[in-house]
Amino acid sequence: ASAAGGVVVPGAIAAVVAGIVVWLVLWRAATSVVLRALGAQVVDDDEVTRAEVARAENIVDGLCASMGVALPDLAVVDDPTRGALAVGCEPDAAVVVLTSGLLHALDPVTLEAVLAHELVHVKRADMAPATVAAAVFGPLGRLVPGASDLVHTVAGRGREFRTDRLAVSVTRYPPGLRDALVLMAEGPRPALDSALSGRGVARAVRWLWTVAMPEPGEDAADAVRVIEGELDAPGVRIAALDEW
């Protein structure tokens, strides 16, 4: 019996060590996995940025100073859909992803509201479990139905609703975020050949965008519908912001 125990204990230790190593690898690689899947290009300091990106950078600088948040990197997805999300496993190594469609469609007030929302995720570090979950479950999208729902559950259902309240406490202007959510929800749907409409990680992060990324071809009215029991549904959040 003691001999058997001597085999089991080292084996259990090895399994624990292997699990820790796998977790650390996933932790370090998760952000890059998600960014690649989305086709997001990180904006470099020495890059000649477009005017829209420079405008977002200026807003982020001001918000980070007032919120006490480390400056995140900005990344852009060249796509007409209107979306933003924060990824990363550490608050001081976050990346805020913006679509070109969002940058073109939002004015300074609505853009500030969206950026404040995403920076709340960074400050709370709640993007970390969501990023790792997307990197883990996303590649299994073809084998595990509902990968986006799994990621949503890990991130925390009601996460976007709660973040709205914190974001408007920063901007002190609920209509700005309310109007931004409407513009995002009623904007263009992802094209069938878009990286944002593919299976895998890109679809797994559906509920991590400021407004859940719609399915290709989804009607705008469906995008803002109230889903029973789903606080993160755009329609629920828009109605709440009307009351705040």
Contact 158, 112 (CB under 8 A): no
Burial category of 49 from C-beta neighbours within 10 Å (exposed 0-12, middle 13-18, buried 19 and up): middle
Q: Count other C-beta atoms under 10 Å from residue 174's C-beta.
A: 19
Across the chain, how many H-helices and E-strands are there? Answer: 11, 4
What is the arrangement of strands in the sheet containing 41-42, beginning at the earlier edge strand?
Answer: 41-42, 73-77, 95-99, 84-87
CA distance 227 to 238: 13
Question: Catalytic residue among 118, 186, 228, 243, which?
Answer: 118
User: Residue 94: enclosing H or E segment and its boundaries?
Assistant: none
**Which DSSP string do the residues of 115-166 spell out, in sequence order?**
HHHHHHHHHHTTHHHHHHHHHHHGGGTTTSTTHHHHHHHHH-TTHHHHHHHH
Q: What is the CA radius of gyration of the chain?
A: 19
Q: Is 118 a catalytic residue?
A: yes
Residues with catalytic function: 118
